[in-house]
Structure 1
């Protein structure tokens, strides 16, 4: 992310130039089709021509500055070079400033080319180079410590013992953190014990801006994160009225030196973990990088399904766009069905207690828009 505004020291383009291979002319010298003018000069890209004498034309190429006095360009396909090569017949009367790129047409000198908080995409880097910026001031990547809790978790590649599940959240969250430009320290799986959880939090707080966990934030006897965070720092939020994603925790964990790291505890169910990352962790990561934190703007689309029994919480229903813009609903909306996020391309943001009937317009949020920064 860009740490400060990039201001252009020049106009782009710096001079009016031709957007076509052709002939630079004074329009007054071509009163009608068939007018013939002698060639007085040749201007290639990277050259600066002489003032264009009245009653003459200049051979010009794409990107070459317009000679002073010229006020239009006629493309070569609309011209005929006469025998001997010293004269050109024009088959059309040019329009004012035809095929001319004006000085400063793209960027004006003194304009903010890239505002602070811009993600440096390939096109943004190209624009910075356009105004001659050789070095850019950027925000340090957020440093994030990631771990999962749960004795039932097994890493992919290991034998799956009875009662165990593979740790999918590790890979989903690592991918999301990479998407948002973070440096991630993977602390693996922490056993279900109070002391192990506190120890992991202390290690994670050192040298990191954010501690991100999955699992262990509910209210079961094996969920130790809440008391562990309260012992090592403070907890400012516990549970939110959304589905999926109710058990979401937010707070801070202190370091031995008296500093602190932000803490976000995501639910263990994979869809809930994914959705709460988009809703809660995404804006925090953007804020750490000085970028705008606004959520994507919902699009009103037609529901191709009925949802007669809404929850009392705000719901995020996995859907995908089908023919004619109608939304299809994934059959199983359980928070453990990660396949719904691959099948779908977004969610319906449904208010609490709001039933949906086929044909009604609903608020659609696309995953692609959420993941763009």
Structure 2
């Protein structure tokens, strides 16, 4: 069942003219986002919330750290007792006991006394600073070179003497209570994406669960009777299915939980049954293939039936290259968003970046557009760009310059793998001279 908070309007803005007119890239994206609503918030255990978006401000309930503690293995002392200490004239103190991490009952340190202490252990009463064990004889009468080994080997609770070879200032090597965050401090703001550091902070302040918008579940499938899985020998006329792998990886990169279904034959019944089976675990569906003019009857028929009487899947021609044919709508009883992308690998990838990625971020409650666009000098000429269409070329960006990678063909997978940017040639531009400044969308 879908977890979408509200049912957005299912009817496209221009259903009657969807296939007749050219839609701009911006119009198509605006129409998609107008029909996307963020997923309902849920309470999750911390590790299950990784990658999710907070829906509430989190306030620190108590100081962190909750008590003064040692940042070193060493001895808790009074500063007056080690004043003027040196290698030649060490301060000799009586060791009254041990303070380990997690200690509850603490010995009080009086004049001429020290308590052996471990990293993270509470500062005992009376103590003002920590002398690192390397600055002592380790309580054995040996030199500094053997101090650490002696300190580790000494039995718990051992008494005796320790010689301190250096003075320390008050609060030296002490982590003060609340030095990380104090009670009442805002730990994390609503809208924060929870990564490992944020999960660690929530655990440190005692939160076992957190309220978030979940990561959207995305079902990815390719359509085409010619497709076979990687690892399978190719019969004549067959090709390996790469789109379902690439688009699943795209969905994961966008923060979603992606389920790769694989390739489905060009049969309406098979496609319908597959989609109906998958809708139970989908917050969005991404298909590739079968949307070009003259080739999308099976896909169009199937998706129209799944959309039902109160919904619609619009198939459109966009003023862009690659990726001219596009489909979008909401299907099934829960009105799950569906993106029908072109079948050529580059077209599918570019379409995902421009339309699906923003929609998945919107489902998570994030700002839709997160890819950075910069101005860069194009080192290569673009000799022919289709007039009236926004062209997206693969490029390699570095230090304010971008070079073309491969040709303009939408089947060139190698050039896509070599690129780290999309070069944007505007609709009103049919050629570009080398050295021209263009918009560049940075990938990754």
Structure 2 match to 1:44: 100
1:331 equivalenced with 2:406 (yes/no): yes
Deviation at 1:337, TM superposition (A): 1.4
Q: How does 1:126-137 map to 2 (within 5 A)?
A: 126-136=200-210
Report Cα offsets for 1:27-51 as digits up to 9, x if no partner. 4555445362524543221225345
Whether the aligned pair in 1 keeps the contact of 2:228 and 2:234 (CA below 8 Å) is yes
- Say if 2:371 and 2:441, in contact at 8 Å, map to a contact too: no
Give the TM-score normalised by structure 2.
Answer: 0.65
Output the CA distance in 1 between the equivalents of 2:75 and 2:285: 63
How is 1:9-158 mapped onto 2 (pairs within 5 angstroms)?
Answer: 9-27=61-79, 29-34=81-86, 36=91, 38-39=93-94, 41=96, 42-48=98-104, 49-53=106-110, 56-80=113-137, 85-94=160-169, 97-113=171-187, 121-136=195-210, 139=213, 142-158=216-232
Task: Tell me if structure 2 keeps the 8 A contact 1:333–1:340.
Answer: no
Contact 2:95 2:162 (8 Å CA) reproduced? no
1:277 aligns with 2:352: yes
How many residue pairs end up in the alignment? 358
Is 1:365 the equivalent of 2:442? yes
Displacement of 1:342 in angstroms is 2.7
The equivalent residue for 1:186 is 261
SS class of match (1:86)? strand
Residues 154 and 187 of structure 1: CA distance in aligned 2, closer, same or farther (over 3 Å): closer
Task: Please say if residues 73 and 97 of structure 1, whose CA atoms lie closer than 8 Å, have aligned partners that are also in contact.
Answer: yes
Question: Which is further off, 61-70 or 102-111?
Answer: 102-111
Preserved contact between residue 141 and residue 183 of structure 1 (Cα < 8 Å)? no
User: 1:362: how far off?
Assistant: 6.7
- Is 2:322 aligned against 1:244? yes
Selected match of 1:172 from 241, 246, 251:
246
Per the normalisation by structure 1, the TM-score is 0.75
Q: CA deviation at 1:221?
A: 1.1
1:20·1:75 contact (CA, 8 Å) conserved in 2?
A: yes
The alpha-carbon deviation at position 295 of structure 1 amounts to: 0.6
Distance 1:55 1:287, change over 3 A: farther
Structure 1: give runs of 5+ residues left out of the alignment. 368-373
The runs of 5 or more residues in structure 2 that have no matched partner are 1-48, 142-159
Q: For the structure 1 residues 334 and 106, does the alpha-carbon distance in structure 2 shift closer, same or farther, using more than 3 Å as the test?
A: farther
Alpha-carbon contact 1:190-1:200 (below 8 Å) kept:
no
